[in-house]
């Protein structure tokens, strides 16, 4: 899908900044005003919030060719309720809220892109709720194996267990069960 003409791309690219983010560095920090949207060129990120005990609740992972931000907080201009942190060394094209609103006002195709981003974010959240909230720990892991097996290779066990809403110990037990079951 080509939403932007070559001229629109050439005009728009000047508003984006190339950022190199090392594994562990933050793109957005919880409790700070969310002021940017990023597009991942390479690498990966996780989004999470932290509870009162300092325990992370991972809500999603994003990799190459995906946009990252805290949409609700960006639009409302409030402090972010989540952090977005690199889980791999990453290269991200970043645009500020101010520059994004400028592009939205100047190039009508950007409105369609923004709409698709919000729709994608909503669909991901709904899929997460449907596939992870009401399933057993083993069903959750099997769903990841079937639909997003790359997560198992690219994500730390502690982050994957947080995302699935299970303990690391439970995740290790499930992996062992699956290996044992498939060896027959």
**pTM for the full predicted model:** 0.88
Helices (H) and strands (E) in the chain, counts: 8, 8
- Torsion angle defined by CA atoms of residues 123, 18, 6 and 119, in that order, rounded to the nearest 10 degrees: 10
Q: Which of 56, 11, 59, 62 is nearest to 37 (CA)?
A: 62
Q: What is the pLDDT along the chain (184 residues), one digit of tens a residue?
A: 578 889 998 999 999 999 999 999 999 999 999 999 999 999 999 999 998 888 899 999 999 999 999 888 888 888 899 999 999 999 999 999 999 999 999 998 998 888 888 888 888 888 878 777 788 899 989 988 888 889 989 999 999 999 999 999 999 999 888 877 765 4
Residue carrying the six token digits 């991942």: 40
CB-based contact 90:44 (threshold 8 Å):
yes
């Amino acid at each position: 899908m080509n939403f932007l003409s070559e001229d629109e791309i050439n005009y728009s690219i000047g508003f984006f900044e190339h950022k190199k983010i090392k594994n562990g560095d933050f793109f957005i920090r919880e409790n700070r005003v969310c002021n940017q949207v990023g597009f991942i060129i390479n690498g990966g990120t996780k989004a999470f919030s932290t509870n009162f005990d300092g325990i992370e609740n991972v809500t999603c992972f994003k990799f190459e060719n995906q946009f990252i931000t805290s949409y609700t907080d960006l639009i409302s201009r409030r402090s972010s309720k989540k952090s977005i942190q690199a889980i791999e060394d990453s290269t991200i094209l970043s645009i500020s809220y101010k520059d994004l609103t400028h592009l939205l006002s100047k190039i009508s195709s950007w409105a369609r892109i923004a709409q698709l981003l919000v729709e994608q974010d909503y669909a991901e959240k709904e899929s997460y709720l449907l596939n992870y909230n009401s399933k057993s720990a083993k069903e959750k892991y099997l769903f990841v194996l079937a639909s997003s097996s790359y997560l198992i290779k690219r994500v730390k066990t502690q982050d994957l267990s947080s995302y699935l809403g299970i303990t690391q110990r439970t995740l290790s037990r499930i992996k062992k069960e699956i290996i044992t079951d498939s060896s027959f």
